[in-house]
């Protein structure tokens, strides 16, 4: 990355990976398996796009993970942990993925990794951004949002100091998460076509960038992760309430102080009492019960993406 005449310059993005099966979420697993057989759909001039199943054992067993969540396993400690075969399966796998697509943080790392996920939440199509200063990704997301309009594709920004986690895609220089929902675990619904279309536009963007197209400065609306909200619990830690029907399926809609948030099993309503309006998402996601998360709150922000162009060298 460098700057030239006010533009931010990046190397061409020649090595791209598409991850499916980081969890056993069927849209990504199905698409990646299709592309492993026949990759024509994801090939673009001047770049290699490699489809890859990241957690094949979990996919085979129809479970989120075998020993530990792969999508939390790419910490420096894990990636450098000695132990070989004695390590948890997903830590071994993280090390292997880091060898194949990284090393994380190095010049040898893949340029872009797309990681394909489904959620049981009613989030529609969501791109996940890990760094508000990643102008390449911001421009890509802006391009995708415009390309799919009038359909909607939102951007979730997670750079929260405590809630950000070490994802599989974080091995790449430009990590891109893609969540599509709602879809129950273990089920394939036709929303996988939306995932396919977003990935098509993403690859088109990279091809254009590599060809020398300059993308002028723009603003991108993102939803920044603020806070994790747990289910109400009793003193033994048992959940005593569910997401209120007025909030269920209302991902991305404003939640204002005084709005219903949970409904206890004996029929009482628990209201949101935060200081101001927030935008909840990942509402009632199945996989987050174990993470003690009923939803996350977010704040809407407009980020400025600088002009970008490829480096001349």
List, by residue number, the catalytic residues.
Answer: 179
Q: Is 189 in the site for its own copies (CB under 8 A)?
A: yes
The answer to whether the CB of 171 falls within 8 A of the CB of 74 is: yes
Q: Is residue 286 a contact residue for its own copies (CB under 8 A)?
A: yes
165 is in an annotated binding site: yes
Binder among 70, 123, 129, 287 for its own copies (CB under 8 A): 287
Nearer to its own copies, 187 or 213 (CB): 187
Cβ pair 206, 14 in contact under 8 A? no
Identified binder of its own copies from the candidate list 9, 11, 12, 30, rule CB under 8 A: 30
Q: Which one of residues 92, 95, 120, 281 is an interface residue with its own copies (CB under 8 A)? A: 120
Q: What track of x and - describes contact with its own copies for positions 149 through 188 (by CB under 8 A)?
A: ---------------------------------xxxxxxx
Candidate segments 46-54, 80-88, 215-223, 235-243, binder of its own copies by CB under 8 A = 235-243
What is the C-alpha separation between 249 and 261, in angstroms, rounded? 12
Q: DSSP letter string over 171-208? A: GSSEEEEEEEE---TT---TTHHHHHHHHHHHHHHHHH
- Is 270 an interacting residue with respect to its own copies (CB under 8 A)? no
Phi-psi region of 292 (alpha: psi -120 to 50; beta: other; left: phi over 0): left
**Backbone region of residue 210 per phi and psi (left: phi > 0; alpha: psi in -120 to 50; beta: other values):** alpha
Is 271 annotated as contributing to ligand binding?
Answer: no
Of 87-106, binders to its own copies (CB under 8 A) are none
Q: Is 58 in the site for its own copies (CB under 8 A)?
A: no
Give the dihedral sign, CA 38/40/45/49: negative
Residue 21 CB, shortest distance to its own copies, in Å, is 15
Question: Which sign does the torsion angle of CA 254, 258, 263, 267 carry?
Answer: negative
- 8 Å CB contact between 35 and 19: no
d(C-alpha 48, C-alpha 210), whole Å: 12
Q: Is 221 annotated as a binding residue?
A: no
131 is a contact residue toward its own copies (CB under 8 A): no
- Residues contributing to the site for its own copies (CB under 8 A): 30, 34, 62-63, 120, 182-190, 192, 239, 242-245, 248, 263, 265, 284-287, 289-290
Residues at the binding site for substrate are 71-72, 165-169
């Amino acid at each position: 990355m460098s700057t030239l005449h006010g533009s931010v310059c990046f190397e061409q993005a020649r090595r791209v990976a598409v991850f499916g099966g980081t969890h056993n979420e069927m849209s990504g697993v199905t698409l990646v398996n299709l592309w492993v057989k026949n990759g024509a759909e994801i090939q673009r001039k001047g770049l290699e796009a490699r489809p890859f199943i990241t957690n094949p054992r979990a996919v085979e067993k129809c479970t989120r993970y075998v020993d530990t969540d792969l999508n939390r396993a790419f910490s420096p400690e894990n990636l450098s942990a000695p132990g070989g075969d004695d390590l948890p399966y997903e830590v071994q796998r993280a090390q292997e993925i880091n060898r194949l697509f990284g090393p994380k943080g190095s010049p040898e790392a893949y340029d872009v990794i797309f990681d394909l996920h489904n959620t049981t939440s009613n989030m529609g199509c969501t791109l996940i951004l890990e760094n508000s200063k990643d102008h390449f990704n911001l421009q890509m997301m802006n391009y995708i949002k415009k390309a799919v309009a009038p359909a909607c594709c939102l951007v979730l920004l997670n750079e929260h100091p405590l809630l950000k986690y070490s994802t599989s895609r974080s091995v790449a220089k430009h990590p891109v998460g893609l969540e599509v929902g709602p879809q129950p675990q273990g089920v394939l619904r036709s929303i996988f076509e939306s995932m396919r279309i977003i990935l098509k536009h993403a690859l088109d963007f990279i091809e254009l960038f590599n060809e020398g197209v300059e993308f002028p400065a723009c603003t991108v609306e993102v939803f920044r992760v603020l806070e994790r909200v747990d289910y109400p619990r009793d003193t033994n830690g048992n959940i005593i309430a569910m997401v209120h029907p007025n909030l269920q399926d209302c991902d991305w809609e404003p939640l204002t102080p005084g709005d219903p948030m949970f409904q206890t099993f004996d029929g009482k309503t628990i209201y949101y009492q935060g200081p101001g309006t927030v935008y909840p998402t990942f509402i009632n996601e199945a996989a987050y019960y174990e993470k003690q998360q009923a939803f996350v709150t977010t704040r809407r922000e407009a980020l400025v993406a600088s002009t970008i162009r490829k480096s001349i060298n």
